[in-house]
């Protein structure tokens, strides 16, 4: 058995009037993340962590923002594509540990639904996906509510 770890980090600017997609669900908020796709920062960091663990570069390499087919795409489709790439190489997900950095809205009430959605897309158990949320105590761009950041680490296993 071979195990590998991966790490992901991403940020997106927040803008008033956009839908706020996070962890595969739309979270009610006055501001949403700006990006070429639906700008789901949590899914993006999970994709990057998984790709990194398998030494498959990053999300931008596989799904470039210069390609019009990815304009506005649901990030769950990107995650499903990443899972196909991993499984083609014989890898399965051991676990995901992630943190969302955001002043508001409060994310904790939405975490169980995010876990359900992500587990279904990834074909893993909900208990294998950890999602945490924190603020930056009003410091930096996150603290000023100008953007959202997220981190993820993953473990993948090849039998």
61 is in an annotated binding site: no
Rounded to the nearest angstrom, the gap between the alpha carbon of residue 39 and the centroid of all alpha carbons in its chain is: 9
110 is in an annotated binding site: no
Distance CA 159, CA 153 (A): 20
Distance CA 29, CA 152 (A): 23
73 is in an annotated binding site: no
66 is in an annotated binding site: yes
57 is in an annotated binding site: no
159 is in an annotated binding site: no
Distance CA 117, CA 123 (A): 10
5 is in an annotated binding site: no
30 is in an annotated binding site: no
12 is in an annotated binding site: yes
Query: 2 has which bridge partners?
Result: 158
97 is in an annotated binding site: no
48 is in an annotated binding site: no
156 is in an annotated binding site: no
20 is in an annotated binding site: no
Structure tokens at 35: 């990006």
Q: What 3-state DSSP class applies to 81?
A: helix
64 is in an annotated binding site: yes
7 is in an annotated binding site: no
What residues are designated binding site?
Answer: 10-12, 36-37, 44, 58-60, 63-67, 134-137, 141, 144
What residues are designated binding site for a divalent metal cation?
Answer: 10, 12, 44
């Amino acid at each position: 058995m071979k195990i590998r770890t991966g790490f992901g980090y991403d940020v997106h600017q927040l803008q008033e009037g956009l839908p706020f997609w996070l962890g595969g669900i739309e979270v009610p908020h006055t501001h949403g993340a700006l990006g070429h796709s639906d700008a789901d920062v949590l899914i993006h960091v999970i994709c990057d962590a998984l790709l990194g663990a398998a030494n498959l570069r990053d999300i931008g390499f596989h799904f470039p923002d210069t390609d019009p087919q990815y304009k506005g795409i649901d990030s769950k489709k990107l995650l499903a594509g990443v899972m196909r790439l991993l499984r083609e190489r014989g890898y399965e997900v051991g676990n995901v540990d992630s943190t969302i950095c955001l002043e508001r809205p409060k994310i904790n009430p939405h975490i169980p639904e995010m876990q359900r959605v992500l587990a279904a897309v990834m074909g893993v158990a909900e208990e294998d996906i950890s999602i945490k949320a924190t603020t930056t105590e009003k410091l930096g761009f996150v603290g000023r509510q100008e953007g959202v950041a997220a981190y993820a680490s993953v473990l993948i296993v090849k039998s």
